[in-house]
Amino acid sequence: MTPRRGVRWALAPWLALPAFALAQAVADPTLPPPSLQAPGATAPVVAPALPELQSILVSREAGGRRVAVISGEMVRQGGRYRGAVVESVGETSVVLRRGRTRETLRLFQGRAPSALAPTAEAAPIAPPARPADMKKETQ
């Protein structure tokens, strides 16, 4: 290796540093430049989303697993979700505890109970036919 080539390799990382520094300086490329923004304008403050119970998985075995999916995060009974303890996982609800405060999350919280219950107009499902009740087609 020639001395010139060694110097190039030694300087290469130092020459690349300004590119990384400039890349980190841009916070949001979709914002207008500061000269076009109103004085004192700041980015809107986004409130943290409320936890949403999306799914519950309960094992049918005695002492089986109880898992809930809250806002896309899978947590077990007794586990933690954003600083809260998952106190219980039921068939349709989950109880979170933060200190002395308890919060109950329910599946389908936004829907009315009537939308989930079967209607009286629904026809009952007939049981499957037994072989003795079927007529033989090959006689």
Q: Tell me the backbone φ, ψ of residue 12, rounded to 5 degrees.
A: -55, -50
Q: Which of 46, 47, 93 is nearest to 70 (CA)?
A: 93
Please report the sign of the dihedral spanned by the C-alpha atoms of residue 123, residue 127, residue 128, residue 129: negative
Architecture of the structural domain at 53-109: Roll (2.30)
- What is d(CA 67, CA 47) in angstroms, rounded to the nearest whole number? 27
Six-digit token string for 2: 């020639």
Confidence of residue 32 (pLDDT cuts 50, 70, 90): confident
Domain edges within the chain: 53-109
Condensed to tens digits (0 to 9), the pLDDT of residues 90-138 reads 989 999 999 999 999 998 766 655 555 555 555 566 666 666 655 655 5
Condensed to tens digits (0 to 9), the pLDDT of residues 44-86 reads 666 667 888 999 988 888 878 899 999 999 999 999 999 999 9
